[in-house]
Amino acid sequence: MSIAKYITATCIITDQIIYKNGRSIFENKNLSATDFVDAAYKHFDIGYPKFYKMDNLSKLGLLASDILLKESFNKANYQPEEVGIVLSNSNASLDTDIKYYKTVSSFPSPALFVYTLPNIVIGEISIKNTFKGENAFFVFKEFDATFIASYVNDLFERKIIETCICGWVEWMGEKYKAVLLLVEKQESGQSVIFNEGNINKIYSLDHG
Amino acid sequence: MDKLMADLKRQIIAQLNLKDLKPEDIGDDQPLFVEGLGLDSIDALELIVLLQQEYKIKLSNADEGPKVFQSVRSMAEYITAHQAQKK
Amino acid sequence: MSAPVLVAGVGVISAIGNNVAESLDALESGRAGMGDMHWLDSIHRNRIPVAEVNLSNDQLSSLTGLDSTITRTALLSMVAAREAIEDAGLINIPRLRTGFISANTVGGMDKSEDFFGDFLPDHAKGKLRDIIHHECGSPTELVADQLGIRDYITTISTACSSSANAIFFGARLIRHNMLDAVIAGGADALTRFTLNGFNTLMILDNEYCKPFDENRKGLNLGEGAGYVVLVSEQVAARLKKKTYCTLSGFSNANDAYHQTASSPEGTGSFLAMKGALAESGLQPADIDYINLHGTGTQNNDISEGTAIRILFDPDYPKMSSTKSFTGHTLGASGGIEAVFSVLALEHGIIYPNLRLLTPMKELPFVPETKFLKNLKLKHVLSNSFGFGGNCTSLIFSKY
């Protein structure tokens, strides 16, 4: 029999707006993409100095995950190995690859090289929160709700994880979009059922 | 030596993206790693790049790292010693 | 227990051989693939040993029928993927829902960095076609296209555990009856991008690497591709050839310690190995051979060794790192080593861990230093641990 799963929190960051559970909680259209992310970090008092060393993709992922989990996730309910992370995007780490590559002709930067893999953003989220469950990063042409739904469902059905952070984290030049979903087995407040239809609605910012 | 240490503090902040820090926040003898500034192994590698870029000194043996990068003062002393050798 | 997932075919290309037969010969003869840089044009030539495949892009193009100007990652991928498919005898079976799950870390970087070399000083220079296939998904699509696979295609990119993750993802698709056959694994070509990056992290050995040796100094970079063909029992029954073994267990965990270093206690490695054993219903004592991740870095080997000590104490299986032969092939390593693990089971052989002179003093076990044969192996564990703390273990079992 299928295990019931619910999307108990969402966080979307794009176009210099941050939405938590469908509501805009921070915006500033006057800032560039990178300045906006740094400003949000300060605004939400994240207090994690390693943030500044991260590349754009990891900063975005960490910011989105922090906002996703804040007041929506009770870490005490789960063992570290029970928290899974499944993310995806279409440009992998290309934004950082280019920056790193520019340093190769003079002094290759170790700090930049470290981020030339898309799954490092998962590493950063795991390190900050000590999440040790199964984690995967997929590269697709565009967001694939069917895939995310079936992959994450399988992890729950096989009891490999008890909760999951999943979605899309993309950064390329000045364009970026993070859509993170928190999936749990019990309902809460405004939670909706974890299925393809709801995932698509959330991704396309359909609050209606 | 004082000017070198002041320069180093600015350079360290820039190289390691320590955005929340100002040069005055870093003590001359404050441990840079573990406690103190809490830098990690990737930061150590970036400091090796810093030595090369700004001071043309190549630290090819990573084992020397912990001693050289103990504090801003130890970095300054190492730089001074190596630049004196070159002359 | 879930339905078995069977390995019906294998294909591999690396510095030690362009196919399975050549690789087995090199493994038995102790012939490692490291040497001076031949194809890659880098300032580190003659200073840093690498393990390159012994074929030029033109030769790979002739072998595969792909254009010689496309990324080397796709060329290598094609060679190994096709060998695996032919080995499984899939070509003549009609109407199989087939998937291609491929992993890589560099995508078409080998061509892009050539492009940038021309483009950066003069924006009028550089061939745009060199960057069309830059992104990770491109080599996968190019190869899937050439192989005529349309039902399901995807790319996984999780550093050095990428192709191991591709393999167990493929297994899940078979178990759920979403596909009948999956070619899963990965490929990576050597690039200046990677070489310079690893050099700046100071984890390269400027001599031939010595995994699990007390005096190890780092890894040697390699390139190549490795794929397995996974099928269900029903499909296996329709194939002419007997299948090799099952993929009986797999698990993935995050070390949650550092972006590129492993925790000293080897938490991620431990969780991955333990999880794979639980999945397969086996005890540590059931494992006959561990194909180690064993890169030869100070950090990995003590971390992986510690996890093995904690999990397997006091009975340690035989183990070795075949990276002592092929170098660290990054995104391809999980796939290449899965193939070596399957072949070990099939032929009852264990590969030597080359250049191990002084055992690590912290560990109560030593990897095998001689090639062993005529063994009766039942279960083989293969480890792949990647940057970002991504740790995966696969278990292959006699069927």
| pLDDT tens-digit map of C167-196 | 999 999 999 899 999 999 999 999 999 999
Predicted interface score ipTM higher than 0.85: no
Instruction: Please state, in angstroms and as integers, the Cα–Cα distance from residue A56 to each residue in A66, A93, A121, A138, C24, following that order.
Output: 15, 9, 10, 18, 44
What are the chain A neighbours of B20 within 8 Å (beta carbons)?
A: 49, 52
* C92 has a pLDDT exceeding 70: no
Same fold, C6-238 and C249-397: yes
Q: What is the pLDDT of residue A207?
A: 54
Chains that touch B (3 or more CB pairs under 8 A): A, C
Instruction: With H, G, I as helix, E, B as strand and everything else as coil, classify residue C339.
Output: helix
Into how many domains does chain B fold?
1
Q: Is C293 a catalytic residue?
A: yes
Q: For residue C224, what are the β-bridge partners?
A: C14, C188
Architecture of domain C6-238: 3-Layer(aba) Sandwich (3.40)
Check if CATH label 3.40.47.10 holds for domain C249-397: yes
CA dihedral over A103, A109, A111, A113, signed as positive or negative = positive
**Widest Cα–Cα separation across chain C:** 65
What is the CA angle A131-A133-A137, rounded to 5?
95
CATH number for the domain harbouring residue B67: 1.10.1200.10
C144 at the A interface (CB within 8 A)? no
* A77 has a pLDDT exceeding 70: yes
Instruction: Please state, in angstroms and as integers, the Cα–Cα distance from residue C342 to each residue in A7, C11, C80, C85, C96, following that order.
Output: 40, 11, 15, 15, 23
Q: What is the pLDDT of residue B19?
A: 81
**Residue for token digits 């299928």?**
A2
Contact in structure between C7 and C228 (CB atoms under 8 Å): yes
Give the pLDDT mean for C364-371: 98
* C56 has a pLDDT exceeding 50: yes
* C110 has a pLDDT exceeding 80: yes
Give the pLDDT mean for C41-52: 93
Q: Do A110 and B45 touch (CB under 8 A)?
A: yes
Q: Where are the domains of chain C?
A: 6-238, 249-397
Alpha-carbon distance of C222 to C78, in angstroms, equals 17
Tell me the residue range of the domain where B13 lies: 2-86
The share of chain C scoring above pLDDT 70, in percent, equals 99
| pLDDT tens-digit map of C120-159 | 888 888 888 888 788 888 899 999 999 999 899 999 888 8
CB atoms within 10 A of CB B54: 13
CB atoms within 10 A of CB C11: 28
| pLDDT tens-digit map of A183-208 | 999 998 889 999 999 999 999 987 54
Q: If pLDDT is split at 50, 70 and 90, which confidence band does B54 have?
A: very high
Chains that touch A (3 or more CB pairs under 8 A): B, C
Contact in structure between A153 and A6 (CB atoms under 8 Å): no
* A143 has a pLDDT exceeding 80: yes
Contact in structure between A54 and B42 (CB atoms under 8 Å): no
Name the residue in chain C with its Cα closest to that of B60: C202
Name the residue in chain B with its Cα closest to that of A103: B49
Give the pLDDT mean for C99-114: 90
| pLDDT tens-digit map of A98-124 | 899 888 888 889 999 999 999 999 999
Q: What is the pLDDT of residue B83?
A: 82
DSSP string, A71-87: TT--GGGS-GGGEEEEE
* C289 has a pLDDT exceeding 80: yes
Give the residue among A201, A108, A101, A71 at the shortest CA–CA distance from C200. A108
C388 at the A interface (CB within 8 A)? yes
Give the pLDDT mean for A85-96: 93
What secondary structure letter does DSSP report for C77? H
Residue C316 neighbours by CB under 8 Å, 6+ apart: C308, C364, C365
Give the pLDDT mean for A53-73: 97
* C291 has a pLDDT exceeding 70: yes
Please report, as a single letter, which amino acid is at residue B85: Q
Average confidence score pLDDT of chain A = 94
Contact in structure between A10 and A200 (CB atoms under 8 Å): no
Q: Is C328 a catalytic residue?
A: yes
| pLDDT tens-digit map of C243-257 | 999 999 999 988 888
Per-residue three-class SS string for chain B: CHHHHHHHHHHHHHHCCCCCCCHHHCCCCCCCECCCCCECHHHHHHHHHHHHHHHCCCCCCHHHHHHHCCCHHHHHHHHHHHHHHHC
Q: Do C388 and A134 touch (CB under 8 A)?
A: no
Give the residue among A200, A199, A195, A201 at the shortest CA–CA distance from A4. A195
Q: Which domains does chain A have, with CATH numbers?
A: 6-203 (3.40.47.10)
* C332 has a pLDDT exceeding 70: yes
Quote the minimal CA–CA distance from C320 to chain B in Å: 27
| pLDDT tens-digit map of B2-36 | 999 999 999 999 999 888 789 999 999 988 887 77
Instruction: With H, G, I as helix, E, B as strand and everything else as coil, classify residue C29.
Output: helix
A104 at the C interface (CB within 8 A)? yes
Quote the minimal CA–CA distance from C372 to chain A in Å: 35
Give the pLDDT mean for A157-181: 96
CA atoms within 13 Å, Cβ hemisphere of C119: 14
Q: Where are the alpha helices (DSSP H) in chain C?
A: 20-29, 57-64, 72-88, 109-119, 137-147, 162-175, 192-200, 233-238, 267-280, 298-312, 323-326, 333-347
Lookup: tokens for A199: 């995932």
* A56 has a pLDDT exceeding 70: yes
Residue B49 φ then ψ, to 5°? -65, -40
Higher per-residue confidence, A49 vs B61: A49
Catalytic residue from among C133, C134, C209, C293: C293
Residue A19 neighbours by CB under 8 Å, 6+ apart: A10, A11, A12, A13, A25, A205
Alpha-carbon distance of C12 to C223, in angstroms, equals 11
Average confidence score pLDDT of chain C = 94
Paired sense of beta strands A135-139 and C152-156, if any: antiparallel
Give the residue among A206, A161, A190, A204 at the shortest CA–CA distance from A7. A190
Give the residue among A129, A156, A5, B76 at the shortest CA–CA distance from C254. A129
Contact in structure between C119 and C188 (CB atoms under 8 Å): no
Residue C158 φ then ψ, to 5°? -130, 50
